[in-house]
């Protein structure tokens, strides 16, 4: 079926939305030019009424090909960390601020490219609708792009990771690094330190969810 031409993703959101309906509708989205480059939209997935939602930047190469979020190396690192802090991956919802893969070629590889402010804004209606439908008690922003989109343009993950911040989007909002940044650590010692900090951040969320249940 030919893709509809739309200026705003909000035009595609059905009147009585549900996660399956908006996932299907997003396949027709042309609200920014990224639909031309990704293999497919990779929408959020997880428990429809999850207490905890993770928001990353965009899918990686593996996710783009698989059509599912957080299934590549960074997703596996997230899975291991969730297990370590006692959070069942089946009870969370994972998504990204941008639903198509933005990349640039490097040899035969497709290298991740940071989405622009305009692309993030164009895709925002999808994310806002996911949040409204899931109504998570806690949102964890993974990385600077997600944190700046959901918390504020001036927010610095390096300075305020692991801190709960006030938000209209969920009772609890916190940012930490994207797990892909841990995988890119320059050496084993740095990776171990970053892994511990990431685990500590997620443990804080796990404890808060338990305390305030
Ligand atoms: S990235 Fe988002 S706004 Fe852009 S075409 Fe894809 S779904 Fe639409």
Distance 40 CA to ligand 1 centre (A): 10
Ligand 1 pocket check for 99: Cβ under 6 Å: yes
Least confident segment among 24-28, 30-34, 70-74, 142-146: 70-74
The answer to whether the beta carbons of residues 116 and 123 sit under 8 Å apart is no
Ligand 1 pocket check for 35: Cβ under 6 Å: yes
| Rounded Cα gap, residues 100 and 11, in angstroms | 18
Residue 5 pLDDT greater than 60, yes or no: no
Res 80: pLDDT: 95
The mean pLDDT value for 121-150 works out to 96
E-state strands within the chain: 45-46, 52-56, 92-96, 103-106, 109-112, 138-142, 164-165, 172-176
Q: What is the pLDDT of residues 178-206, one digit of tens each?
A: 998 999 899 999 999 999 999 999 999 99
Ligand 1 pocket check for 95: Cβ under 6 Å: no
Res 106: pLDDT: 73
| Rounded Cα gap, residues 77 and 74, in angstroms | 5
Q: What's 149's DSSP letter?
A: H
Closest CA relative to residue 13, chosen from 5, 2, 21: 21
Q: pTM for this one?
A: 0.90
Q: Give how far the C-alpha of residue 47 lies from the chain's centroid of Cα atoms, to the nearest Å.
A: 15
User: Pairing mode, if any, of strands 92-96 and 52-56?
Assistant: parallel
Ligand 1 pocket check for 96: Cβ under 6 Å: no
Q: Which residues of 92-101 are buried (b: 16+ CB within 10 A; e: fewer)?
A: bbbbbbbbbb
Q: Tell me phi and psi for residue 90, to 5 degrees.
A: -70, -10
Ligand 1 pocket check for 110: Cβ under 6 Å: no
| Rounded Cα gap, residues 207 and 111, in angstroms | 36
Q: Give how far the C-alpha of residue 28 lies from the chain's centroid of Cα atoms, to the nearest Å.
A: 20
| Rounded Cα gap, residues 57 and 47, in angstroms | 20
Q: What is the pLDDT of residues 43-94, one digit of tens each?
A: 888 999 999 999 998 766 666 566 666 778 888 999 999 999 999 988 999 9
Q: What is the pLDDT of residues 60-72, one digit of tens each?
A: 666 656 666 677 8
């Amino acid at each position: 079926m030919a893709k509809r031409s739309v200026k705003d993703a909000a035009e595609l959101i059905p009147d009585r939305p549900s996660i399956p309906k908006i996932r299907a509708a997003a396949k027709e989205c042309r609200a920014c030019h990224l639909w031309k480059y990704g293999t497919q939209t990779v929408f959020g997935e997880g428990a429809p009424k999850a207490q905890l939602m993770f928001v990353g930047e965009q899918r990686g190469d593996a996710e783009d090909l698989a059509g599912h979020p957080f299934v590549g190396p960074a997703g596996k690192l997230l899975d291991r960390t969730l297990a370590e802090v006692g959070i069942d991956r089946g009870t969370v919802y994972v998504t990204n601020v941008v639903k198509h893969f933005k990349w640039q070629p490097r040899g035969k590889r497709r290298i991740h490219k940071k989405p622009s402010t305009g692309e993030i804004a164009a895709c925002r209606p999808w994310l806002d609708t996911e949040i409204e439908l899931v109504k998570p008690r806690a949102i964890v922003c993974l990385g600077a792009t997600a944190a700046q989109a959901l918390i504020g343009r001036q927010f610095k993950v390096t300075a305020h990771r692991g801190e709960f911040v006030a938000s209209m989007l969920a009772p609890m909002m916190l940012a930490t690094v994207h797990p892909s940044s841990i995988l890119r650590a320059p050496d084993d010692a740095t990776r171990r330190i970053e892994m511990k900090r990431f685990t500590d951040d997620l443990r804080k969320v796990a404890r808060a969810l338990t305390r305030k249940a």
